[in-house]
């Protein structure tokens, strides 16, 4: 963390001062109070993403730490304390000062309130993907390594339809299937009130806390086994698919290093999008324009433009150092990308040379999703956490996870449902469950 590294640097300076006898050790109390600590221009001149009030508080705290260490150093020389005594005092002061910095941020930083609402349990293997229907009726969809896709009632958690037409893991059979469903939503039951938990609250759980998920609750729902249309052109696993605006074309991404654009009515291949050097990991379409973004293990993601029928341009974004696990469109001309290099980057499509914001985390990032209305990015991690950030890179919350709630394995995907009154965020993972969350954003953050 930046606060720890800066504090350690200050400690090293104190030790160096102790070895030098050329410095004056006589200082009055008034001169000590007049010292400003670390020069502000060391940090104020940098391109910081922190709010000015938080940055000013951080500089003042570092100044206090420097003065505390220097007072200890002077006291040691004047009273001839042993080196071991000074070392112990430095350790105590460092620990107290670091706690002061951390607590100050907890009290000055606004965060989103996060509440677990519903768990969707029925798959017999890990869930790769989760999404919410864009048309009525609004239902939840999940795709699993158990070779099935399920549709759920968001309110009741009941499985509505099972699709079992694939012979591979969503879809390891190298095809993409289009199928039609008709569901009757059950009458919603009152949702049990879960006490509201801050996104920072967390209790670690062990594997023995994992519930038994072997029961197949989807066995009672209707099952579809034959697709309406099968899209067959890939030579490898189809890892992602999305609808192009208008609903007449669909795009798929595959481990064969290509993305394919199909005509849905005829099942014909319209364009094969080639250029990536390694397997694709994700594809996403723009909600209102004929734009497609694909991500790959080759550390890049590409923007494909189909707005002009005669010109199909492509732009390559380079900025990650490991697999780009997903890239999604957001408001305006922005794209957000996540990577196994533990970063998320926000890009302006008009300037591809460098990101306009970078989020650094402690774990690889899987399929991200952006709440367009509130401009919030949901980050699912390999380490079972889900974090929320705004578009400028400021952390808002971490979804609660304990022995009683939250994910117990890698979180694979996130999906926002901005218009739903109760569940507005969904996540899924290798613990074979999807979870619906209620995310409440303070009005102050929404105005940013």
Termini Cα distance of the chain: 26
Region for residue 375 given its phi and psi (left: phi exceeds 0; alpha: psi -120 to 50; beta: otherwise)? left
| Tally of CA atoms within 13 A in the half-sphere of 206 that contains its CB | 1
Per-residue pLDDT band for 349 (boundaries 50, 70, 90) equals confident
The phi, psi pair for 11, rounded to 5°, reads: -65, -40
Residue 310 CA to residue 216 CA, distance in Å, equals: 50
Per-residue pLDDT band for 60 (boundaries 50, 70, 90) equals confident
Alpha carbon 98 to chain centroid, angstroms: 27
How far apart, in Å, are the Cα atoms of 437 and each of 112, 197, 235, 434?
12, 11, 37, 10
How far apart, in Å, are the Cα atoms of 75 and each of 10, 27, 85, 90, 404?
17, 11, 11, 12, 51
Tokens of 408: 């117990």
Q: Is it true that the peptide bond before 185 is cis, omega within 30 degrees of 0?
A: no
Beta bridge partners of 344: 338, 359
The phi, psi pair for 335, rounded to 5°, reads: -130, 140
The candidate with the shortest Cα–Cα distance to 317, out of 296, 331, 332, 333, is: 296
- Delimit the domains of the chain by residue range: 2-108, 113-446
Residue 306 CA to residue 112 CA, distance in Å, equals: 38
Query: Taken in order 269, 337, 177, 425, is the CA torsion positive or negative?
Result: negative
Q: Is the pLDDT of residue 86 over 80?
A: no
For residue range 233-289, list pLDDT tens digits in order.
999 999 999 999 999 999 999 999 999 999 999 999 999 999 999 999 999 999 999
Per-residue pLDDT band for 291 (boundaries 50, 70, 90) equals very high
Q: Is the pLDDT of residue 318 over 60?
A: yes
Query: Quick count: other Cβ atoms within 10 Å of Cβ 183?
Result: 15
For residue range 210-228, list pLDDT tens digits in order.
444 455 566 678 999 999 9
Do the beta carbons of residue 344 and residue 328 sit within 8 Å? no
Do the beta carbons of residue 359 and residue 342 sit within 8 Å? no
- The superfamily (CATH) of domain 113-446 is YVTN repeat-like/Quinoprotein amine dehydrogenase (2.130.10.10)
Q: Where are the alpha helices (DSSP H) in 130-195?
A: none
Percent of the chain with pLDDT over 90: 54
For residue range 393-404, list pLDDT tens digits in order.
999 999 999 888
How far apart, in Å, are the Cα atoms of 286 and each of 26, 63, 238, 244, 389?
67, 48, 20, 7, 21
* Local structure of 87: helix, strand or coil: helix
DSSP class of 299: S
Nearest-Å Rg of the Cα atoms of the chain is 26
Tell me what the pLDDT averaged over the chain comes to: 80
Helix H or strand E segment including 230: strand 229-231
Q: Is the pLDDT of residue 372 over 90?
A: no
* Local structure of 138: helix, strand or coil: coil
pLDDT at 29: 40
- SS3 percent helix, strand, coil of the chain, rounded to 5, is 20, 35, 45
For residue range 92-140, list pLDDT tens digits in order.
655 555 554 544 444 344 467 899 999 999 999 999 999 999 888 899 9
Do the beta carbons of residue 340 and residue 322 sit within 8 Å? yes
For residue range 319-344, list pLDDT tens digits in order.
999 999 999 999 778 999 999 999 99
């Amino acid at each position: 963390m930046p606060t720890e590294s800066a504090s350690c640097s200050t400690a090293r300076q104190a030790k160096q001062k102790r070895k030098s006898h050329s410095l004056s050790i006589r200082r009055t109390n008034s001169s000590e109070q007049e010292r400003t600590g670390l020069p502000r221009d060391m940090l104020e001149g940098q391109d910081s993403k922190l709010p000015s009030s938080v940055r000013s508080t951080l500089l003042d705290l570092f100044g206090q730490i420097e003065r505390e260490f220097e007072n200890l150093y002077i006291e040691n020389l004047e009273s001839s304390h042993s080196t071991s005594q000074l070392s112990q005092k430095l350790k105590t002061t460092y620990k107290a000062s670091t706690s002061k910095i951390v607590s100050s941020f907890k009290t000055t930083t606004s965060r989103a309130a996060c509440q677990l609402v519903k768990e969707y349990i029925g798959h017999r293997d890990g869930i790769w993907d989760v999404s919410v229907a864009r048309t009525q009726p609004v239902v939840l969809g999940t795709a699993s390594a158990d070779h099935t896709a399920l549709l759920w009632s968001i309110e009741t958690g009941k499985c509505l339809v099972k699709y079992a037409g694939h012979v591979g893991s969503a879809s390891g059979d190298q095809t993409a299937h289009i199928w039609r469903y008709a569901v009757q939503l059950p009458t919603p039951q009152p949702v049990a009130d879960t006490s509201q938990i801050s996104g920072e609250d967390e209790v670690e759980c062990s594997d023995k806390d994992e519930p038994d998920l072997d029961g197949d609750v989807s066995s009672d729902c209707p099952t579809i086994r034959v697709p309406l249309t099968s899209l067959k052109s890939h030579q490898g696993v189809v890892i992602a698919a999305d609808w192009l605006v208008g609903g007449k074309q669909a795009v798929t991404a595959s481990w064969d290093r290509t993305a394919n654009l199909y005509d849905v009515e005829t099942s014909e291949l319209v364009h094969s999008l080639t250029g990536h050097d390694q397997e694709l990991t994700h594809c996403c379409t723009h909600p209102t324009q004929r734009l497609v973004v694909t991500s790959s293990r080759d550390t890049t993601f590409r923007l494909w433009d189909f707005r002009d029928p005669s010109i199909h341009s492509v732009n390559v974004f380079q900025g990650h150092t490991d697999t780009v696990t997903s890239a999604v469109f957001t408001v305006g001309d922005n794209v957000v990308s996540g990577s196994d290099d533990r970063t998320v980057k926000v890009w302006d499509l008009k300037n591809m040379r460098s990101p306009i914001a970078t989020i650094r985390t402690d774990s690889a990032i899987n399929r991200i999703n952006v709440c367009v209305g509130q401009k919030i990015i949901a980050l699912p991690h390999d380490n079972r956490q889900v974090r929320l950030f705004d578009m400028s890179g400021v952390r808002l919350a971490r979804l609660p996870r304990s022995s009683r709630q939250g994910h117990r394995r890698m979180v694979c995907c996130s999906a926002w449902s901005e218009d739903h009154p109760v569940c507005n965020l969904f996540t899924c993972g290798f613990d074979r469950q999807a979870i619906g969350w209620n995310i409440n954003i303070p009005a102050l953050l929404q105005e940013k």
